[in-house]
């Protein structure tokens, strides 16, 4: 394998957060290695982002209020300040001036989009395919215009931890495993979509960074706050589903139930543009009550305004102007607990992007703040991570005796894991269901660990990461008795905030 080697800053993951961290560390003159298990841009969640990237325009105070309101008052105000106060300059510097993203414009300048729970249009976008228009030029820029060493198809399996700090990671490529020592390690491994049967994430989102950090002893927080997007195309038998951006509702599309009725005004005063958790629960309830929910795009020029999405609908055989939709796992608000520079509770270990819990999202994330958070925290962490010496510590002994897994081993375990997560740790949860889920997940993790003691392979480590993270989510959900934001406990205490979606009877 082309040898991963010692480096000042090791970044794991190549979405917007990892690329921003690598860019910032490179700008500081550090030797930077960026390892990604991906072989194509589509493996990063960034590529799939549709809506866009929110900026503050002329009213940062209102942007902050919208973030806090969408989180039902649970977002950390200090973290929100960091995000919003750095938003416009980071977007201008990196996305516009450095990598040249061509955001949509109109006769007056940027064509700001509107999404749920935003008080005004403030979202920069490229049609509804913003992610790939940011990700591809960013990847190319880092690979071609900086000194960052990009290692594709290279997975981090374990962190090199020692006495409360992290000194790099064990990297795997083509079955070969090598320790890479680093002055600092930045995790940017994205979300946990692979833990649920329907998700808007790429299949690779197995929670690797969160699991590695937790196993190394780092604090994690807010793991119960798994955000479900209300409108993913329901998909076919094979589960082919895709996100239908909130921007479509922002332009006037309307949710209707199986009886053809518009229902969101009964759930929230902001109707179809209510906070995401409220809309997701309402869609789920109406699907149960009336058989289906569709997004009616007839109030807008769907093909004209959202040509990529219209194309996807056409490919999937959707009979426009109505798109059958269902909630899908979309974003983990929690993760590795970090401060305003992405520093975790372990020395020299950083986490940025979706695998991190910065406090910005609290219990529920406002639309089009995830790319922004990855950008802002990535830059801050990358800058901060520079300047440590590189130390060598004893690497863990990873066994390579019998690397092949039985063909159906990982697939079977993933199926079991996804079933229990969807049934017991999904949009609505019960105390009993969460206990049962923990029991199943503990058994499953035990079985996976037994395999991991005898062999090392990427797919086994992904499965191990997924089982660790699933348990963290289920445990955090069981420990939090208060329904708030994305965590809705049917038999729990309500936080007192009036959120009509939480009153739907699911008996």
Report the interface residues with ligand SIN, using CB under 6 A. 50-51, 245-247, 330, 367-368, 370
State the nearest-atom distance from the C-beta of 49 to ligand SIN, in Å.
6
Would you say 128 or 386 has its CB closer to ligand SIN? 128
Q: Which residues of 63-76 are buried (b: 16+ CB within 10 A; e: fewer)?
A: bbebbbbbbbebbb
Strands 226-233 and 322-332 turn out to be antiparallel
Strand, coil or helix: 226: strand
User: How far apart are the C-alpha atoms of 25 and 27, rounded to whole Å?
Assistant: 5
| Percentages (nearest 5) of helix, strand, coil residues in the chain | 40, 20, 40
Query: Taking every pair of C-alpha atoms in the chain, what is the biggest distance, in angstroms?
Result: 65
Peptide bond into 298 cis (omega under 30): no
Measure Cα distances from 348 to 158, 341, 366 in Å: 15, 12, 30
Selecting among 276, 287, 380, 464, the annotated active-site residue is 276
- Active-site annotation holds for 458: no
CA 186 from centroid of its chain's CA atoms: 16
* 3-state DSSP assignment of residue 12: strand
CA distances from 409 to 29, 152, 375, 444, 460 (A): 45, 26, 37, 12, 9
3 state DSSP class of 332:
strand
Min dist CB 51 to ligand SIN, Å, is 3
- Phi, psi values for residue 431, rounded to 5°: -60, -45
Residue at shortest CB range from ligand SIN = 51
- Residue 32 beta carbon to ligand SIN: minimum distance, rounded to whole angstroms: 28
Give me the phi and psi of 274, to 5 degrees please: -70, 165
CA distance 195 to 289: 26
CB of 385 within 8 A of CB of 25?
Answer: yes
How near is the Cβ of 245 to ligand SIN at its closest, in Å? Answer: 3
Closer to ligand SIN by Cβ: residue 51 or 353: 51
In the complex, the smallest distance separating the C-beta of residue 276 from ligand SIN, rounded to whole angstroms, is 8
Angle at 56 between CA 52 and CA 62, to 5 degrees: 115
Neighbouring residues of 473: CB distance < 8 A, sequence distance ≥ 6 = 192, 195, 223, 224, 226, 332, 421, 425
Helix or strand holding residue 392 (H, E):
none
Q: Min. distance of Cβ 134 from ligand SIN in angstroms? A: 13
The residue among 159 and 295 lying less far from ligand SIN, judged by its C-beta, is 295
The total number of residues written for the chain in this structure: 507
Measured in whole angstroms, how far is the alpha carbon of residue 142 from the centre of its chain?
A: 22
CA-based nearest residue to 476, from 325, 367, 337, 307 = 337
Give the residues across from 182 on adjacent strands: 7
**Closer to ligand SIN by Cβ: residue 242 or 488:** 242
| CB closer to ligand SIN, 33 vs 368 | 368
Please say which residue, 282 or 385, places its beta carbon nearer to ligand SIN.
282
Contact yes or no for 197/418 (Cβ under 8 A) = yes
Measured from the Cβ of residue 260, the count of other Cβ atoms closer than 10 Å reads 10
Query: With respect to ligand SIN, which residue has the nearer C-beta, 48 or 263?
Result: 48
Compare residues 183 and 191 and give the one whose CB is closer to ligand SIN. Answer: 191
Nearest CA to 193 out of 173, 208, 212, 172 is that of 208
Q: Nearest approach, Cβ of 494 to ligand SIN (angstroms)?
A: 25
Nearer to ligand SIN, 330 or 348 (CB): 330
CB of 312 to ligand SIN, least distance (A): 13
- Distance in Å, CB of 131 to ligand SIN, minimum: 9
Active site (catalytic) residues: 276
């Amino acid at each position: 394998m082309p040898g991963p080697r010692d480096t000042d800053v090791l970044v794991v993951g190549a979405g917007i957060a990892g690329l921003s961290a690598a860019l910032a560390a490179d700008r500081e003159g550090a030797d930077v290695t960026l390892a990604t298990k991906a072989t194509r841009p589509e493996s990063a969640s960034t590529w799939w982002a549709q809506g866009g990237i929110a900026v503050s325009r002329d009213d940062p105070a209102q942007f902050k209020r919208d973030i806090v309101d969408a989180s039902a008052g649970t977002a950390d105000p200090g973290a929100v300040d960091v995000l919003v106060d750095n938003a416009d300059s980071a977007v201008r510097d990196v996305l516009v001036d450095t990598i040249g993203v061509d955001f949509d414009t109109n006769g007056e300048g940027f064509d700001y989009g509107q999404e749920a729970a935003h008080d005004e249009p403030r979202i920069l976008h490229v049609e509804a395919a913003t992610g790939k228009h940011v990700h591809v030029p960013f990847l190319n820029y880092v690979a071609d215009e900086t000194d960052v060493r990009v290692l594709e198809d290279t997975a981090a399996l374990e962190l090199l931890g020692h006495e409360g700090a992290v000194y790099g990671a064990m990297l795997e490529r083509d079955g070969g495993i090598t320790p890479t020592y680093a002055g600092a390690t930045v995790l940017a491994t994205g979300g946990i979509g692979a833990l649920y049967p329907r998700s808007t994430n790429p299949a690779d989102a197995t929670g690797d960074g969160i699991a590695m950090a937790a196993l190394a002893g780092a604090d994690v927080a807010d793991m119960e706050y798994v955000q479900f997007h209300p409108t993913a195309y329901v998909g076919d038998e094979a589960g082919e589903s895709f996100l239908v951006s909130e921007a479509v509702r922002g332009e006037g599309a309307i949710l209707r139930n199986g009886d053809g009725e518009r229902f969101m005004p009964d759930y929230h005063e902001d109707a179809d543009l209510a906070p995401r958790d409220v809309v997701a629960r309402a869609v789920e309830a109406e699907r149960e009550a009336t058989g289906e929910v569709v997004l009616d795009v007839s109030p807008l020029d769907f093909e004209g305004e959202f040509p990529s999405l219209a194309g996807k609908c056409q490919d999937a055989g959707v009979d426009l102007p109505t798109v059958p939709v269902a909630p899908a796992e979309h974003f983990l608000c929690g993760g590795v607990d970090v401060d305003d520079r992405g520093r975790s509770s372990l020395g020299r270990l950083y986490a940025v992007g979706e695998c991190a819990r910065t406090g910005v999202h609290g219990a529920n994330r406002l639309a089009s703040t995830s790319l922004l958070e990855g950008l802002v925290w990535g830059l801050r962490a990358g800058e901060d991570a520079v300047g440590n010496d590189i130390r060598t510590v004893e690497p863990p002994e990873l066994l390579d005796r019998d690397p092949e897994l039985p063909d159906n081993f990982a697939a079977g375990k993933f199926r079991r894991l996804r079933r229990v997560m969807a049934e017991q740790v999904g949009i609505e949860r019960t105390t009993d269901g969460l206990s049962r889920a923990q029991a199943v997940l503990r058994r499953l993790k035990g079985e996976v660990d037994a395999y991991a003691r005898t062999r090392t392979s990427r797919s086994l480590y992904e499965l191990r990461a997924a089982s660790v993270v699933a348990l963290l989510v289920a445990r955090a959900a069981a420990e939090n008795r208060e329904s708030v934001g994305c965590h809705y406990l049917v038999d729990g205490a309500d936080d007192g905030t009036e959120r009509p979606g939480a009153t739907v009877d699911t008996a």
